[in-house]
Amino acid sequence: MSRERFYVTTPIYYVNDAPHIGHAYTTVLADVLARAHRMLGVPTWFLTGTDEHGLKVQQAAEAKGVPPQEICDTYSQRFRELHARLGVRYDDFIRTTEPRHKTVVSRVLTLLHERGEVYRAEYEGWYCTRCERYFNDTDVQAAGGRCPDQPVLHDVARLKESNYFFRMGKWAAELARRIESGEMELAPEKRKNEVLGFLRKPVDDLCISRSKARLSWGVDLPFDADYVTYVWVDALFNYKSAIGYLSDDPAARERHATWWAHATHILGKDILTTHAVYWPTMLLAAGESLPRKLLAHGWLLDATGLKVSKTKREGVTDQGPPPPSIDALLDVLGTDVTRWLLATAMKPGDDAAFSWDLVRERVNAELANGFGNSVNRVVKMAHQACGGKFPGLGGGGPRGDSLREKTLAVVAAVSAVPETLDMLAVNAAVRVAVAEMSGYLDDEKPWKLAKDPAQTGRVAGILADCIESLRLLGLALSPIFPEKCAVLRATLGQPAATDFVAEARWGVLTAGTPLGEPPNLFPRFDDAKLAALPQ
């Protein structure tokens, strides 16, 4: 992937309920990727936001006896507040009820209608209210008469009505060709194969309208006032409306020209079809270029093996212990540790179990007993044996060379993020480097060597290797741990990083640099905090 620019988006999140840990995972992953690109000197634009039209919002408003806009305002703010707690640094937050977005949707629909890409027809089929999607008889039958996307959780109902349709099937072969050519990348590879398999079958046209007799909360169809736009058509154009597509403002159009060619969408695998089929076929029909890349990640799974979500699990009798909520994680662990757990929870594309037992294990093993303990013991020994100053590299021996190699592997893993988008590889490299440092200290025992004046140089060499390793870890991991790494850098006498390329090498610290007091960077998991949470 080109490192010229990086335009990264999350899905825009639906506002019929409060955000949950799945939303947090996607947003933190996108934020870490954005921070990593910025650190590597890649111009970056990060977009997130909220999806505010559709039947579920209308129903949530009716249930509460308030206008739909009030529901949207309330829950959109909840997402902003969560992003702030997670330390997310986005460049724009789009809301689909904003005029800048609704204008673009209307203009695109007018364009598609004028080109003959939209037609009216009678339709009868199965409809899932929660997914806001129609499904054919074959898929519903295969799902046991339930929603093909969420058969355990969602029912479907039979509907018949006149609607408008987009000629999606017309563009299926062309989309397949462009995916196979690599023009639009789908990651991981199994998601690419899944989409290509879908496109090689007959692809139905897409119903893009909803009758106002059933749904009034949406963007009006510009060519028929009796209908609103299907929420998935409306929502997907946020990725372009937010950066100035079809804007009357020349500066906004220039922003679109600058960023769109570098678009990477981060999304969950459950919305792969909408993003990898609906969205690009509409772009092709409108004469627009495709996004550069889609990363469809897996799910965090609860004790029952189901996706962690805000949806009540009707029909599931044994739901097991509740999974950690995002608010509870933040209350117990704080921002940076929560970011670490989420950003490195799974390999892109795979699912991963997520429970309080797993959280406790990872916090204690990877952070408290691993990275955090290494920081504390190295800095403490440097105060005792080196007068609280960096002694200068040299004299560490072959084990120091091994630590240098494994530390630079962390730098390499972070530097590869623009190509791999893989934070689990970063996690693995960090654990190897920290284990190497711990083994180095345990084998060499500098606290014992320090008792022999003849070994002063040897002790200094060992500690210098470890301190320089910690400096590089603090630099490379700052996209995940922005607060903790700032503390670590300050402890090692380093200002905020300004040039990753210049600093991402071995041997930057100078002899005599004063060291701060040893910090308790990553405390052990606090079960008392967990027990104190409201039940």
* Catalytic (active-site) positions: 20, 23, 128, 131, 147, 154, 307, 310
The C-alpha atoms of residue 95 and residue 114 are separated, in whole angstroms, by: 27
- 311 and 18 in contact (C-beta within 8 Å)? no
CA 364 to chain centre: 24
Q: Minimal CA–CA distance to 328: which of 11, 58, 18, 51?
A: 18
- 50 and 243 in contact (C-beta within 8 Å)? no
- 208 and 219 in contact (C-beta within 8 Å)? no
Q: Minimal CA–CA distance to 407: which of 420, 393, 419?
A: 393
The C-alpha atoms of residue 350 and residue 86 are separated, in whole angstroms, by: 23
- 448 and 512 in contact (C-beta within 8 Å)? no
The interaxial angle of helices 482-491 and 335-343, nearest 10 deg, is: 110
The C-alpha atoms of residue 190 and residue 177 are separated, in whole angstroms, by: 17
Q: Minimal CA–CA distance to 327: which of 88, 85, 535?
A: 85
Query: Angle at Cα 36 formed by Cα 32 and Cα 42, nearest 5°?
Result: 130
Q: Minimal CA–CA distance to 130: which of 323, 326, 310?
A: 310
Q: What is the DSSP string of 471-535?
A: HHHHHHTTTT-HHHHHHHHHHTT------HHHHSSS--SPTT-B--PPP--SPPP-HHHHHTS--
The C-alpha atoms of residue 475 and residue 481 are separated, in whole angstroms, by: 10
SS3 220: strand
Give me the count of residues in the chain: 535
The C-alpha atoms of residue 30 and residue 348 are separated, in whole angstroms, by: 12
The helix or strand, by DSSP H or E, that contains position 118, with its residue range, turns out to be strand 118-128
Between the alpha carbon of residue 51 and those of residues 11, 96, 218, 523, the distances in Å are 9, 6, 11, 38
The C-alpha atoms of residue 462 and residue 396 are separated, in whole angstroms, by: 5
